[in-house]
Chain A
């Protein structure tokens, strides 16, 4: 249906919880545009080191993706996209890896050479972690791009399969996952909330 280009950062949102992405995309009622907020935090630290390129914007019809690579390390023979994250836990998640994979795919199309790794830099620990991009990452990115493009306002994604994620979710206030299943238990079917109601 829609061939709109998907923001690479949306891959991360979607992987976290499709319903959350759906809210932010179609119903951002708090008026807080998360892209803008993310933009702010990632831009406040600009590096000017000679062998780094900051903010390389890329898009590809082929991949259905667009996005801005924060930092591109061109120190070595092969350029490495670096994604900077704030993560209080000091860890990154699978959804962060997917976002990085999205950048790698965009970059490899741009330079017409395979890009097999990226890096995640964590502010909290000042650590730079090397992330190999696997075939599995690539396939998941492609699937998610399709799924996101096929999303519509009328098809409401079910609740997450991992209720723990809700605790840190900014849309929880109006997603009301536990409240929803308490009032309409059938909404728990096939989600991580099945256990919550059987408790």
Chain B
């Protein structure tokens, strides 16, 4: 079979050049060099885009914002070194029926979906380790079974936490000399590897978030992560299954291939400007890289696979399908 033609792959744009403005020009979106005199730097057909990520000193013309609103284009704002600042979300993304179904999910429905996501994450964690030649991961296998049989969200969270700890212990072995996870810390990033992981989680979370918005799910209403004001819980939930193979594996790849070195970080553990640009282009490349889908017999890009999981999640929520099917790789 062939994958449906989508607009997923070229649908996300990153603008990192400082002193630029994003404008519209005859049905196209144009990045214009305002401070310098390079003029038009890039242009994209408005119809194809659904997300624009901007970093630091980039601004938008007023007609562009109106256009983004009309065409349902989400704008994500980041600082120059990739810290997420906020988003502009177009008005039209509120299809009442999808929301109604989402709000009507019972505790049990939510648990079923969450179990599939966490079991998928644990499965993928094992797969990443085994691809890297790390053996003896039976404990993860057992935890995966425990996740599938969890009787409550607390039970599931406990299992997830234990699995994450075991997994990160072993992930260390996959890194080339001079790199170590020490302990997975959140913020502030205490070491370079954690800084890269955090950055990658933010980037992938935004891919998930754009997908959820595109398909009219409420990203703030989660199935497992607790809803806290301003926290995109559903995006965090759906991101779980992508963490090992779409996030951690990118980070290990960048480090092991020497694309990113310790010298690329500033004193406060952020990537310096140029390495950050390298990172973004590698990230985008990685999202567009294709793999043979483990459940469907065709190739898809990682970006498209994420959007497909959003659609499958929506189908589970609106009862078009009986259950949620996580994206899992068994080898």
Instruction: Enumerate chain A interface residues (CB-CB to B < 8 A).
Output: 26-29, 31, 153-154, 156, 172-174, 176, 178-180, 182-184, 187
Is B295 an interface residue when CB atoms closer than 8 A count as contact?
Answer: yes
Q: Please indicate the chain B residues that have their CB under 8 angstroms from the CB of A173 in the complex.
A: 4-6, 311
Q: How far is the CA of A183 from the CA of B326 in the complex (A)?
A: 10
B side interface size, CB within 8 A: 26
Chain B contact residues: over half helix, strand or loop, or mixed? Answer: loop
Contact present for A180 and B321 (CB under 8 Å): yes
Is B274 an interface residue when CB atoms closer than 8 A count as contact?
Answer: no
Known: A178-B1, A187-B321. A31 touches B295 (CB 8 A): no
Give 20 A-B pairs besides A29-B215, A173-B6 with Cβ atoms closer than 8 angstroms: A26-B97, A27-B97, A29-B98, A31-B71, A156-B319, A172-B4, A173-B4, A173-B5, A174-B215, A174-B311, A176-B308, A176-B312, A178-B1, A178-B296, A179-B295, A179-B312, A180-B315, A180-B321, A182-B295, A183-B295
Q: Please indicate the chain A residues that have their CB under 8 angstroms from the CB of B312 in the complex.
A: 176, 179, 183
Contact present for B98 and A176 (CB under 8 Å): no
Q: How far is the CA of A31 from the CA of B98 in the complex (A)?
A: 14
B residues 266-298 in Cβ contact with A at 8 Å: 295-296
Closest CB-CB distance, A175 to chain B, in whole Å? 9
Is B214 an interface residue when CB atoms closer than 8 A count as contact?
Answer: yes
Q: Please indicate the chain B residues that have their CB under 8 angstroms from the CB of A153 in the complex.
A: 97
Q: Please indicate the chain B residues that have their CB under 8 angstroms from the CB of A28 in the complex.
A: 95
Known: A156-B319, A173-B4, A184-B322. A179 touches B97 (CB 8 A): no
Q: How far is the CA of A174 from the CA of B95 in the complex (A)?
A: 15
Is B262 an interface residue when CB atoms closer than 8 A count as contact?
Answer: no
Q: Please indicate the chain A residues that have their CB under 8 angstroms from the CB of B321 in the complex.
A: 180, 183-184, 187
Known: A31-B72, A156-B319, A184-B322. A176 touches B295 (CB 8 A): no
B residues 306-331 in Cβ contact with A at 8 Å: 308, 311-312, 314-315, 319-323, 325
Known: A27-B95, A174-B311, A176-B311. A182 touches B4 (CB 8 A): no
Interface 1/0 per residue, B87-103 and A, CB below 8 Å: 00000100101100000
Chain B residue with Cβ nearest A179: B296
Listed from nearest, the 9 A-B pairs whose CB atoms lie closest are A173-B4, A172-B4, A183-B325, A178-B1, A174-B311, A179-B296, A31-B72, A153-B97, A31-B92
Q: How far is the CA of A103 from the CA of B323 in the complex (A)?
A: 43
Q: Please indicate the chain B residues that have their CB under 8 angstroms from the CB of A172 in the complex.
A: 4
Known: A156-B319, A173-B6, A176-B308. A29 touches B216 (CB 8 A): yes
Q: How far is the CA of A179 from the CA of B4 in the complex (A)?
A: 10
Chain A residue with Cβ nearest B47: A32
Closest CB-CB distance, B311 to chain A, in whole Å? 5
Closest CB-CB distance, A95 to chain B, in whole Å? 21
B residues 55-113 in Cβ contact with A at 8 Å: 71-72, 92, 95, 97-98
